[in-house]
C-alpha cells in the first residue's frame, strides 16, 4: 500500500478499532490506553502512514518551518564566509530539532511586491532569523514588530533576542596584541556604518587611549566590508601619507587581501616593512603565507545559539527571556604583525 493512500480508515481496519480511536491514539490523547496507542502507532508506521503536513499545520498552527532573512549588500550571497558558516550551523541545529529552513525572498525587484512580513505570513513560518540586512529598512522594522518569533544576528533590538559577536572585545584583543608587539602608529580601515562598526571603532579608540596612544584622523578610513578593491585604494592612501602607519587593521579578512595587493605593489613586504591584521578568521586567512593575524569568530556557536533561542521562543513563548547573547571570538596571532622595538 502506498503511503500517499494510507488513511485513518485503513489503520482502523487493520487494528479493528474506530477511526476516532486511531485519531486519538496518533494525537496522544489521554483517554486511550498506552498499549492501544503503541499498537496503533506500530501499525500506522508499518503501513507507511504520514499525516498530511498542511492538515497538521491547520490543526496545530505549526508548520515546523523557519524563515531566514539574509540580504548581502555585497551580493556575495552564501559565499560570505562568516554568515555562510553561521547559517550552516543554524540550519544543522534546526533540522536536528525537526524544523525545515526556507529563505525569505529578499529581491526588491521581484514582481509580487510582497513585504518580508507578508512573505513570512504567507509561508506560515513558526519563526524567523534575520542576518546581514539593512536593519533600518522599514520592512525589517515591520517584521521585528510583528507577532512572529524573531532572533537577530549581529544587531540588537530591545524587543528581540539578539546573538552578537563580542566585537568590542575582539578589537580590544587585536589592538592590545599589536600594541604589545611594539606598534604605536596603527591605522584602521573600518567597515561602513552599522552597529558592528560602531562597536569595533569605539573599542579601537578606547583601547589605544587606555594605552596612551593618540591616533591621527588620517589613520582611520571607511571602506565597505568584504570589498578588496576599496580596501586596496584605502591602503594606498595610508601608505602615501608623509608619516605612514606601521600596522593596518582591515574590516575583515577578505578586505585585507586588497590591502596586501597594495602593499606588494608599493614594493613592501609583510610583515618586514608593514604589519596587517584582518577580522573573522576565515579559512583562506589561515592558508596564506604568512598566516593572517585575525580574530576568529565562533560561527558554530553563533548559529547554534540563534537556533536554540528561536526554537525555545517557538515552543515556549511565555517563558523565553528577551536578551542579548554575546559570543566571544579568538585571537589568531598568525604571522602578519612584526615585533618592533
This prediction's pTM: 0.76
Per-residue pLDDT tens digits for 234-249: 999 999 999 999 999 9
Check residue 110 and give its pLDDT. Answer: 52
Which residues face 130 on adjacent strands? Answer: 69, 152
CATH code 3.40.50.2300 for 65-164+300-327:
yes
Give me the residue spans of the domains in the chain. 8-51, 65-164+300-327, 167-297
Query: Residue 336 in contact with residue 293, Cβ under 8 Å?
Result: yes
Three-state DSSP state, 296:
strand
Check residue 284 and give its pLDDT. Answer: 85
C-alpha grid cell, residue 108: 526588491
Query: Residue 80 in contact with residue 74, Cβ under 8 Å?
Result: yes
Q: Which helix (H) or strand (E) holds 247?
A: strand 247-249
Q: How many CB atoms lie within 10 A of CB 179?
A: 17
C-alpha grid cell, residue 71: 540580504
C-alpha grid cell, residue 127: 519563526
Three-state DSSP state, 332:
strand
Fold classification of 167-297 is: Rossmann fold (3.40.50)
Instruction: List CB contacts of 308: < 8 A, sequence separation 6 or more.
Output: 93
Q: How many CB atoms lie within 10 A of CB 53?
A: 12
Per-residue pLDDT tens digits for 296-321: 999 999 999 999 999 999 998 888 88
Q: Could you say which DSSP state residue 70 is in?
A: E
Check residue 5 and give its pLDDT. Answer: 63
Asked if the domains at 8-51 and 65-164+300-327 fall in one CATH topology, the answer is: no
Among 109, 110, 107, smallest CA distance to 77 is for: 107
Using CA atoms in the order 95, 82, 336, 214, what is the torsion angle rounded to 10 degrees? Answer: -130
Strands across the sheet with 161-165, in order?
Answer: 100-103, 65-70, 127-131, 150-153, 161-165, 324-327
Per-residue pLDDT tens digits for 179-200: 999 999 999 999 998 888 999 9
Distance between CA atoms of residues 300 and 303, nearest Å = 5
Among 143, 155, 158, smallest CA distance to 194 is for: 155
Distance between CA atoms of residues 31 and 206, nearest Å = 65
Per-residue pLDDT tens digits for 86-110: 999 999 999 999 999 999 876 655 5
Instruction: List CB contacts of 115: < 8 A, sequence separation 6 or more.
Output: 139, 142, 143
User: 8-51: which CATH number, 2.60.40.10, 3.50.50.60, 2.60.40.1180, 1.10.260.40?
Assistant: 1.10.260.40
Characterise 77 by phi-psi region: left (phi > 0), alpha (psi -120 to 50), beta (else): left
Distance in angstroms between the alpha carbons of the first and the last residue of the chain: 80
Q: Which of the residues in the chain have pLDDT under 70?
A: 1-5, 50-60, 72-79, 106-113
What is the C-alpha R_g of the chain? 26
Characterise 32 by phi-psi region: left (phi > 0), alpha (psi -120 to 50), beta (else): beta
Distance between CA atoms of residues 220 and 175, nearest Å = 14
Q: How many CB atoms lie within 10 A of CB 97?
A: 14
Amino acid at each position: 500500500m502506498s503511503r500517499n493512500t494510507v488513511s485513518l480508515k485503513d489503520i482502523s481496519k487493520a487494528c479493528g478499532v474506530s477511526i476516532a480511536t486511531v485519531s486519538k491514539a496518533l494525537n496522544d490523547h489521554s483517554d486511550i490506553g498506552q498499549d492501544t496507542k503503541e499498537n496503533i502507532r506500530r501499525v500506522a508506521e508499518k503501513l507507511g502512514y504520514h499525516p498530511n503536513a498542511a492538515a497538521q499545520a491547520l490543526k496545530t498552527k505549526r508548520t515546523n518551518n523557519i524563515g531566514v532573512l539574509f540580504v548581502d549588500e555585497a551580493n556575495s550571497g552564501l559565499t560570505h564566509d562568516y554568515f555562510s558558516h553561521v547559517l550552516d550551523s543554524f540550519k544543522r541545529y534546526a533540522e536536528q530539532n525537526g524544523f525545515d529552513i526556507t529563505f525569505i525572498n529578499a529581491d526588491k525587484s521581484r514582481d509580487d511586491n510582497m513585504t518580508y512580513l507578508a512573505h513570512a505570513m504567507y509561508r506560515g513560518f513558526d519563526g524567523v532569523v534575520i542576518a546581514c540586512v539593512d536593519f533600518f529598512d522599514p520592512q525589517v522594522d515591520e517584521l521585528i514588530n510583528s507577532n512572529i518569533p524573531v532572533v537577530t544576528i549581529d544587531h540588537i533590538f530591545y524587543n528581540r533576542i539578539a546573538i552578537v559577536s563580542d566585537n568590542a572585545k575582539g578589537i580590544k584583543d587585536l589592538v592590545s596584541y599589536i600594541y604589545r608587539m611594539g606598534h604605536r602608529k596603527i591605522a584602521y580601515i573600518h567597515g561602513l556604518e552599522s552597529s558592528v562598526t560602531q562597536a569595533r571603532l569605539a573599542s579601537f579608540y578606547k583601547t589605544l587611549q587606555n594605552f596612551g596612544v593618540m591616533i591621527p584622523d588620517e589613520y582611520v578610513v571607511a571602506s565597505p566590508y568584504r570589498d578588496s578593491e576599496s580596501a586596496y585604494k584605502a591602503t594606498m592612501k595610508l601608505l602615501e601619507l608623509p608619516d605612514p602607519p606601521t600596522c593596518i587593521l582591515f574590516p575583515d579578512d577578505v578586505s585585507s587581501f586588497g590591502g596586501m595587493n597594495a602593499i606588494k605593489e608599493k614594493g613592501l613586504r609583510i610583515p618586514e616593512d608593514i604589519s596587517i591584521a584582518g577580522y573573522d578568521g576565515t579559512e583562506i586567512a589561515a592558508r596564506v603565507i604568512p598566516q593572517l593575524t585575525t580574530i576568529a569568530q565562533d560561527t558554530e556557536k553563533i548559529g547554534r545559539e540563534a537556533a536554540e533561542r528561536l526554537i525555545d521562543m517557538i515552543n515556549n513563548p511565555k517563558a523565553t527571556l528577551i536578551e542579548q547573547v554575546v559570543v566571544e571570538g579568538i585571537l589568531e596571532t598568525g604571522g602578519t604583525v612584526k615585533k618592533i622595538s
